[in-house]
Structure 1
Amino acid sequence: MTRFTGLAAALMLAALGGCGSFGVIPEPFSIYDIGPQGNAPVAVAVPLADIEVVSPSWLSSSAMQYRLVPEHALERRAYTNSRWAGMPSEMVRIVVGRVIQAKPASNGSGCRLRVNVDEFIQRFDSVSTSAAVIELRASLLAPRTDALLAQEAFEVEVPAPSADAAGGVVAMRAGVNQLATATARWLGALGEGPAGDDSIRARCSR
């Protein structure tokens, strides 16, 4: 009887605990992405076999990170109830891949475009103003040898329409699309260089 009474009391306490939280609406949890915003594709004459986007370990998660410059300039923080749909590198890869219109060489060869995401964060300069800060490095690697043929750094700061996670997403989306177009135009300029056996187009076709 004693054991039965103790079990019944435990079940009653558990039930009361459940009733105590019944009807409490949890805080909303939001998942965002940075899908393409109708960017016009940029035709690139440089033959490409692959596009890869990589990021450091601290950006290899779906956390939406921000920095409070006035108080904690060196500290990276993350929103509690907001997340990206995937890692920044995955989302950047989709946008870059849609904007850059390139094909492998006729023999199936082609260079590899590697994009390093060095920074991907929302920066707060005050309690009411913030901006998306994105830094990329684009490297064009030769077929098979992976020799570096060209490299360029890109950076953008886009003011957010509101000082919160949703505003940061709008700014991040715009920034990624801007950098994808800038990278495509950079590649396009490489393909328009002087013709010859040592040209970018020729080396990517070997």
Structure 2
Amino acid sequence: MIVVRMPRLWGSARLGFLGTAFLLGGCATATPWQVPYNISALHSSVPAEAQKASHNAQVVLQLASVSAPSWLDTNTYQYHLLYQNPQMLLSYRDARWVGTPAEMLDMRLLQHLQQSQHWKAVLSGQSSGAAQYVLRLHLSNFVVNFTAPQAGQALIAGTATLLNAHNYQVIAQQSFRQTVPLKTASAAAGAAAMTQAGSHFVGAVSAWVDQYQ
């Protein structure tokens, strides 16, 4: 993990997530036990009209555990200073995520698909139930990019693949990319933007796979 000294602009207070509540936290001087940021929504993020899907759905969908490259297999809060060194991946000294990006998105996507009611059932990757389709999501990017000392955006990108659960033949595949601008150049603003990007991302993946039920 690369640790850097934060510029003065990082002195603004940061908001940390505890479930859906917001707590105030420090910046680069935050204590080691600071509550980690969490993009996982505990409330319904599916529009009411989407929840009125047909109750005659007969297809069971299984969401395989979301995968990600090795550099994302961490709860470290990673970011780029694109205006200084676009290739260097940096990490906050104290700020961190409540889980890995794959774990957080897995939870959000499973919840979203289950609430949409487009499927007879949506099973987690650990479930032993019988399914007709398997949805695999490979996360390729989950990072906050600061494009200037006082500007930046959250980025989530990945590829979804829908498979036949019986012979594992590919039914469809689609790439997704969501960005949300930061309101301020801070870790808290990055986490808030990442939460919003996560909502857009899982919504887009869910809407895409729902058309195959």
TM class by shorter-chain length? 0.7 to 0.9
Q: Partner residue of 2:137?
A: 115
Alignment identity in percent?
Answer: 27
Q: Partner residue of 1:55?
A: 68
**Contact 1:52–1:113 (CA<8 Å) still a contact in 2?**
no
| TM-score, with length taken from structure 1 | 0.74
Report which of the two has the higher share of helix: 1
Q: Which stretches in structure 2 are left out of the alignment for 5+ residues? A: 1-28, 124-128
| TM-score, with length taken from structure 2 | 0.71
**Contact 2:40–2:195 (CA<8 Å) still a contact in 1?**
yes
Q: Look up the SS of the partner of 2:94 in the other structure.
A: strand
Report the RMSD for the aligned CA atoms in angstroms.
Answer: 2.1
Instruction: Name the CA distance, whole Å, in 1 between partners of 2:75 and 2:183.
Output: 22
Instruction: Name the CA distance, whole Å, in 2 between partners of 1:132 and 1:138.
Output: 20
Instruction: Name the CA distance, whole Å, in 1 between partners of 2:31 and 2:73.
Output: 24
Count the aligned residue pairs. Answer: 165
Q: Partner residue of 1:67?
A: 80
Q: Partner residue of 2:100?
A: 87
Q: Partner residue of 1:151?
A: 173
After superposition, the C-alpha distances for 1:14-49 in whole angstroms (9 at most, x for unaligned) are: xxxxxxxxxxxx742431111215301656855313
Correspondence 1:186 to 2:192: no
Q: 1:32 aligns with which of 16, 20, 37?
A: 37
Instruction: Name the CA distance, whole Å, in 2 between partners of 1:56 and 1:104.
Output: 25
After superposition, the C-alpha distances for 1:156-198 in whole angstroms (9 at most, x for unaligned) are: 110112211111100000001111111111012223xxxxxxx
**Contact 2:66–2:139 (CA<8 Å) still a contact in 1?**
yes
**Contact 2:81–2:145 (CA<8 Å) still a contact in 1?**
yes
After superposition, the C-alpha distances for 1:92-149 in whole angstroms (9 at most, x for unaligned) are: 00100010133169x9332111111100000001000011011011101111322211
Bigger Rg, which one: 1
Q: 1:142 aligns with which of 164, 188, 191?
A: 164
Q: Look up the SS of the partner of 2:45 in the other structure.
A: coil
User: Do the aligned partners of residues 90 and 104 (structure 1) sit closer, same or farther apart at CA in structure 2, a change above 3 Å counting?
Assistant: closer
Report the CA distance between 1:59 and its aligned residue. Answer: 0.1
Q: Look up the SS of the partner of 1:74 in the other structure.
A: coil
Instruction: Name the CA distance, whole Å, in 2 between partners of 1:158 and 1:146.
Output: 34
Report the CA distance between 1:52 and its aligned residue. Answer: 2.1
User: Do the aligned partners of residues 64 and 104 (structure 1) sit closer, same or farther apart at CA in structure 2, a change above 3 Å counting?
Assistant: closer
User: Do the aligned partners of residues 82 and 104 (structure 1) sit closer, same or farther apart at CA in structure 2, a change above 3 Å counting?
Assistant: closer
The one-letter code matched in structure 2 to 1:94 is: M
